[in-house]
Chains A and B, each alone.
Chain A
Amino acid sequence: MKSLSNRAYGMALCAVLATTGLGSTRLVNADETTSQLRDRSIGYVTTDLHWSVYQTPNLSVDCPDGLNGNGPRETFKALFPQGGPVETTQLAREGLKVFPQDKQAQFPYILAKGPVAIGLNLDGKVGPNDFVSPTGETGINNQFFRVIGCNAQFRSPDGQLQLFANKLIRSFGFDRIMIEITQVDSLVNADNVEVTIYRGRDPLLLDATGEKVAPGGSQRVDMHYGKQLIQHMHGRIANGVLTTDPIEGVWPWAIYFDVPTVLHIHDMRLNLKLSSTSADGLIAGYTDVDSYYHWLTSWSTHHLAYGRLDPSEFYWALRQNADAYPDKDGAMTAISSAITVNMTQVFIEHTDANPAEPVQRTADAAH
């Protein structure tokens, strides 16, 4: 009801301002909160995803010990200075990439040490290992930042994994993840909104530069192969920021050609600054370590070497800093984390929402 009141207030205000010829700024603002709403809903499509890393220009705060230097080339050279049989050298390392638990970490790993991290307070508490957000919020849970913060793969502007994993968001149909916010009358304040995660199945609308995604495109919902990815969240909008209640979630994010990967995120929630053209903020929660490692190792050892990231060494850094969801032996299986997400407004088409079952291709023949 509050949303409806806001909307009614906005409309009334527009009318008054228009009549009096006053305050064109106010008119724009009112329009801004409702202009892209259709049937009390608005959609956004993912255009950028980066693991959240707070970094200082000279490493002095976040990485006073420098960046990790023990990548695959370096560990291989240290372990096998004379080379040797491919079976006990190269294949042993590649086998360890698949089964990292077979051997404990052999090289030092540099963790981020600064007090500041991007993320959310996932557990509602302020603990000794928590971070402070760049805006001063305490209790930020993001132990994943500790692991990746001093690894060149993840640091801007040229961290290879950050660059390419993000770049492929725009080109891979597998990654075309959208949110649709319904029961919303204003993008400024709405007490009860529903958020549905879909996968779209259309190319992104690019602007005239061919580089940026333009708002106003349309996306059909993938109700065929993507139907199983639909997830529902409840949330609210306050001061233009959408927050959702946590769910057991998955986020499809393929980062290499022909290798579909999905992150499993416990207590997954969204925190997004909304406008009529964009939704920007965080996907946060406790990322399942194994699903993350699977995601990471969809990159070849060669690609991981770009950032001196030895996968089996990195695995132990992950496990040692995991902070949630203990298994039966007490070992933590998930790690608090945050992904910085950028989305662009899109009109979500439900025309395929209830298609006939996919046609059986019995006659798909050699005509």
Chain B
Amino acid sequence: MRPPVGIMGILLALGVVNVGSGKEKPFPAPEASQLSEAYSHVPMPPGFKVIPTELEGPVFADSRGRTLYKWPIASLRNGYAGDPKDKSVCEDKVTTKTGGYMSPYPDGLDLPDLDRRKSCVAEWAPVLVDAKAKPVGDWTIITRSDDTKQWAYDHHALYTSYLDHAPGDVMAGTATFRSGGDTPAERMPVGPPPAVPPGFLVETTVRGRMLLAEKRLSVYVSDNDARNASNCNDACALIWQPMIAPATARPQGEWTIIKRSPAVRQWAFRKKPLYTYARDEVEASLDGSEVSGWHNVYTQLAPAPPKPFSIQQTINGDVLADSRGMTVYFYTCGDDSADQLSCDTLDSPQQYRLAICGGGDPARCQRLWHYVLAAPEAKSNSRIWTVITIDPQTGRAAQPHQPGALRVWAYRDRPVYTYAGDRQPADFEGNALGEWQGRRNGFRAFWIRNELFSRG
């Protein structure tokens, strides 16, 4: 197959588009990422704590600061995987065969690299219970198949991951990047509820922890408002609808209530009155932020990508781009075993990635998918965005001083890529290449914003 001509290339050839018309955009102000999210204090057993994380907000951690994860049962195409309530199915036994969870392939195929394959427990260590411990609040104790005791929170068995190396790491699991169905049964961090009044929720996005109202309506603030005072009235209030606080509502923490009139009270967050946008048509919309002076609200921003990266405008929304404006991709993979282990880390079997990026041919893989190289002086500005050294021949971490090793940018400790099939900035021909549109084994464009077009 000849390399596909990118969408922007086609439009360019048609004379529809000028070179560079995929517009670059700036990132949100990085200093705001210093803010952290408040949370509701819940009873915890001794030895556990809540720690802030860059991406997922406050999470529970063990005494060593390791993030706690859950693995909720998920309905896959041909069965269920993950933990049922109050039970762990993550065992200390190496799984050798596929489970056939994802049609159309049968179960019983031999998993790769069996000589190195770890058990579920080796990758996801159960959070075991001290003999003297007792249940507290939503923290309960479950009995594993080997009769050991394991902590659970809200009926979900808890684990730590070998991929986390420092307090605040959330490298191991998230539901943020593989949402949309047909993903593996995901592991995700567990934390206390956010400190928001009833009717609000907070969701992790690549931009930060996004504040939403019921039914996932976006919430906005205005530059034109004063501290704890709204200047949006009359026609403004028809478009920007104040979030009314019920009579029973009380101020709490960063949340205050302002009076629009003697009988009408409005929620404010961090002293900014809150609104929804009448023209929003999709959930978790960012559309209101296109209006001058109005902004979506985040309890905390995710760390901005390092300086070489930018945001590029495409026909499908905004995508992360490299210094040339070319679309950036990440690779994601979960295997089809009963354990649903990740296969997108540097130490996991590379056969999955090589099948998609090169049809099993490592040389072709390197020709088509390019690591985003880090400049010699480049340094990490966060735990989420890091510079790693990689052996391009194997796709694994390079040994110290290894000849031919590359210093490349990584997101959540996984390298990011550009795609040779993209000819122009704003092309995204590599998006969704792989099994299940890249949700289970493949490449996904690093969308910063695509909520307008991704779903109905």
Residues of A that sit less than 8 Å from B by CB: 71-73, 76, 83-87, 89-96, 98-102, 168, 170-174, 201-203, 224-226, 228-231, 247-250, 252, 254, 256-260, 262, 264, 288, 290-291, 293-294, 298, 300-302, 305, 315, 327, 333, 356, 358-367
Instruction: Show 23 A/B contacts (Cβ-Cβ < 8 Å), sorted by A.
Output: A73-B104, A76-B104, A83-B109, A83-B110, A90-B336, A91-B355, A95-B354, A95-B359, A98-B355, A173-B281, A225-B314, A228-B16, A248-B10, A250-B7, A258-B454, A260-B450, A262-B7, A302-B102, A363-B29, A364-B295, A365-B29, A366-B300, A367-B272
Q: Is the interface of B mostly helix, strand, loop or mixed?
A: loop
Residues of chain B lying within 8 A (CB to CB) of residue A72: 104
B315 touches A226 (CB 8 A): yes
B456 touches A172 (CB 8 A): yes
Rounded to whole Å, the gap between the CB of A335 and the closest CB of chain B is 14
B455 touches A366 (CB 8 A): no
Given contacts A250-B11, A361-B28, A366-B33, contact A229 B359 (CB under 8 A): no
- Asked whether B2 is an interface residue with its Cβ less than 8 Å from the other chain, the reply is yes
Residues of chain B lying within 8 A (CB to CB) of residue A260: 315-316, 428, 431, 450, 453
B351 touches A91 (CB 8 A): yes
Roughly how many angstroms separate A252 CA and B1 CA in the complex, as a whole number? Answer: 22
- Asked whether B162 is an interface residue with its Cβ less than 8 Å from the other chain, the reply is no
- Asked whether B240 is an interface residue with its Cβ less than 8 Å from the other chain, the reply is no
Q: CB-CB contacts of B84-124 with A at 8 A, as 1s and 0s?
A: 00000000000000100011111011111000000000000
- Asked whether B389 is an interface residue with its Cβ less than 8 Å from the other chain, the reply is no
A258 touches B455 (CB 8 A): yes
**Residue in A89, A102, A259, A301 with the greatest tally of chain B CB atoms within 10 Å:** A259
B180 touches A258 (CB 8 A): yes
Within 333-356 of B, Cβ neighbours of A (below 8 Å) are at: 336, 351-352, 354-356
Rounded to whole Å, the gap between the CB of B25 and the closest CB of chain A is 7
A262 touches B315 (CB 8 A): yes
Roughly how many angstroms separate A291 CA and B296 CA in the complex, as a whole number? Answer: 36
Residues of chain A lying within 8 A (CB to CB) of residue B436: 300, 302
A258 touches B456 (CB 8 A): no
Count of B interface residues, CB-CB < 8 Å: 90
Residues of B that sit less than 8 Å from A by CB: 1-2, 4-5, 7-8, 10-11, 13-14, 16-17, 21-23, 25-26, 28-29, 32-33, 35, 77, 98, 102-106, 108-112, 180-182, 207-208, 221, 223, 269-270, 272, 281-282, 289-293, 295-301, 313-317, 336, 351-352, 354-356, 358-360, 364, 426, 428-429, 431-437, 441, 450, 452-456
Residues of chain A lying within 8 A (CB to CB) of residue B453: 172-174, 225, 254, 260
B295 touches A230 (CB 8 A): no
Roughly how many angstroms separate A67 CA and B220 CA in the complex, as a whole number? Answer: 54
A225 touches B355 (CB 8 A): no
Residues of chain A lying within 8 A (CB to CB) of residue B221: 367
The chain B residue with its CB closest to the CB of A265 is B10
A363 touches B103 (CB 8 A): no
Q: Which 10 A-B pairs have the closest CB atoms?
A: A171-B456, A365-B32, A99-B359, A91-B355, A174-B453, A95-B355, A260-B316, A95-B359, A305-B104, A302-B103
Roughly how many angstroms separate A71 CA and B102 CA in the complex, as a whole number? Answer: 16
Rounded to whole Å, the gap between the CB of A107 and the closest CB of chain B is 15
Rounded to whole Å, the gap between the CB of A170 and the closest CB of chain B is 7
Rounded to whole Å, the gap between the CB of A1 and the closest CB of chain B is 30
Q: A94-B441, A173-B453, A366-B301 are in contact. List 18 more A-B contacts (CB 8 A).
A: A86-B98, A86-B109, A91-B352, A92-B355, A98-B359, A225-B453, A228-B21, A229-B11, A250-B7, A254-B453, A256-B432, A260-B453, A262-B315, A290-B5, A293-B1, A301-B105, A362-B28, A364-B29
